[in-house]
Amino acid sequence: MSDLITALSAAVTADPESLPLRLHLAELLLAHGDQARAVAELSQVLMRDGANARAQELMRQALAMPTAGEAGSGSAAAVPAVPAVPAVPAAPVAPPAPSAGEPAIDPAAAQPEAPVDPESPATPETPAPAAGIDWARLESELDSVIEPPFVGSEPGDAQRIEVAGDGTDDGTDEAPEAPDVTLADVGGLQHVKDRLRVAFLDPMRNPEIAKAFQKNLRGGLLLYGPPGTGKTFIAKAIAGELGAKFLTVTVADVLNSFIGESEKNVQRLFARARKHAPCVLFIDELDSIGGKRSMYGSNATWMLGVVNQLLTEMDGVGSKNDGVFVLAATNHPWDVDDALMRPGRLDRVVLITPPDEPARVEILRGALTGRPVAGIDLAQLAARTHGFSGADLDHLATTAAERAMADSIASGQVRPVTMADFDAALREVQPSTGGWMQSAVNVVTFSNADGRYDELETYLTREKFIR
């Protein structure tokens, strides 16, 4: 199954406009339990064909799947009702016999009423065991129906069962991660680092100087480029440079099958980022949740609300969003709603290209760290892997290591990875960026009237994709 998913993913990358391919991939991802990727693929289909009935049905199924962490929490609708068992009163206790000369005590009057404290809530008495009721069995059944709310807690702990996305605060108070990486950990790509520093990092770190030059600190940053080029890692490095927390947002964190809940999810995420400022709010696969509104059909109005809510939340960057730095990444910036890329929003756009030769050396070195190697010529491998993304290079190193591991298992002795293993791996692993480059050529050729993709055009010309 995983091989078929990998093959279909490559086919979709090569032909992103093929809706049948995306639908088939989404079906396989759902069957494999990969909700987030399935929702992302279905979002792409609905952006291009909002009336696609099969995509709508699969989207409903995907959004109804429990996400990671929900397996133990359940929902009100998922907990079957347990028949109430009538409480059986305990047998009355006979009063002591009266002493000589004392009046007899009426048993009914001998039971004094317990004083009621108006400040404390009433607590029901535990019913005494009754004949014919197996209380141990009932408790066992209840424990199997209502799972513990958190790992490490016991069944029956106080908990609140809610329908997912009911608009209440989920109680999450855990601070987002604080990345310990910086741009110094990004190998090569010096032109990208320089662009990031001038356009985003230096003004943010020197607000007084930026103000003197009337440099506007409002707005966010959009990273785009082929898949597997390390956009998420670079976003974490930016957070590390700023000394900020890092909060990742994916399509699965936003979309909800109930009307209005997706917009509330966007609102909650921005509120959480403001609470833990300084914080980088990183929106991954922006085109999946912020696609062009004109591409959504009338049957996908729930997606229009998400885009509108994103616009509302981002308009305040620099005022109510002080200390919140909005970053986003996408493989297809031409599918992102134009309003999201206007001034004050994601108005700084940086192209993340496949790694250059120095970067490929560092990526391969990192991929081989901890593995037994001998005689590896990293410079030669970097020269032979032009056009490989970071993910492609990691896959290449893994393939070469698997070949050496297979020989080691067969002989019973560990054999290091050699250049011969890489030679064999290079016959098997090819760069995955070709399909994206062809799509980019079409965009630059026919959709660059406003000069938005001049940087991309320069890169494609230098790499001889455009002649």
* Digit-coded pLDDT (tens) for 8-58: 787 878 777 888 888 888 888 888 888 878 877 887 777 777 678 888 888
**Are 312 and 418 contained in the same domain?**
no
CATH number of the domain that 338 lies in? 3.40.50.300
The tens digit of pLDDT for each residue in 199-249 reads 778 877 777 787 777 666 666 889 999 998 888 888 898 888 888 889 988
Mean of pLDDT values over 435-445: 91
User: For residue 306, is it within any domain?
Assistant: yes
Q: Coil, helix or strand for 198? A: helix
Does residue 271 form part of some domain? yes
Residues 371 and 414 grouped into a single domain: yes
Q: Is 364 a domain residue?
A: yes
pLDDT at res. 148: 41
Indicate the helix (H) or strand (E) that contains 302.
helix 301-314
Together in a domain, 384 and 343: no
Residue at 32 is within a domain = yes
Last residue of one domain, picked from the residues 333, 351, 369? 351
Give strand pairing partners of 222.
Answer: 328, 349
189 & 278 share domain: yes
pTM more than 0.75: no
Residue 96, domain member (yes or no): no
- Claim to verify: residue 363 and residue 256 sit in the same structural domain: no
418 found inside a domain:
yes
Query: Are 343 and 388 part of one and the same domain?
Result: no
Please enumerate in sequence order all residues whose Cβ is within 8 A of that of 428, keeping only pairs 6 or more positions apart, or say none: 399
Domain boundary residue, one of 330, 351, 372: 351
Per the CB < 8 A criterion, the answer to whether 227 and 13 are in contact is yes
CATH of the domain at 419: 1.10.8.60
Place of tokens 């979002």: 43
61 and 187, same domain (yes or no): no
Residue 108 lies in a domain: no
DSSP annotation of 258: S
Residue 336 β-bridge partners: 291
Asked if the structure places residue 314 within a domain, the reply is: yes
Q: Are residues 361 and 422 in the same domain?
A: yes
**Crossing angle (nearest 10°) for helices 357-368 and 390-411:** 30
- What integer is the mean pLDDT of 343-359? 86
Beta 348-351 vs 221-224: how paired, if at all? Answer: parallel
Same domain for 200 and 282, yes or no, is yes
> What share of the chain has pLDDT > 70, as a percent?
72
Choice between 151 and 318, residue whose per-residue pLDDT is larger: 318
Alpha-carbon gap, residue 68 to 70, rounded angstroms: 6
- In this structure, are 339 and 238 located in the same domain? yes
Asked if residue 261 and residue 397 are part of one domain, the reply reads no
Q: What is the pLDDT of residue 319?
A: 52
**Residue partners of 114: CB distance under 8 A and separation at least 6:** none
Give the CATH number of the domain where residue 27 resides: 1.25.40.10
What is the pLDDT, as a whole number, of residue 16? 79
Task: Let me know whether 211 and 275 are in one domain.
Answer: yes
Domain ends where: 326, 351, 376? 351
Query: Which domain, by its residues, includes 289?
Result: 183-351
How many domains does the structure of the chain reveal? 3
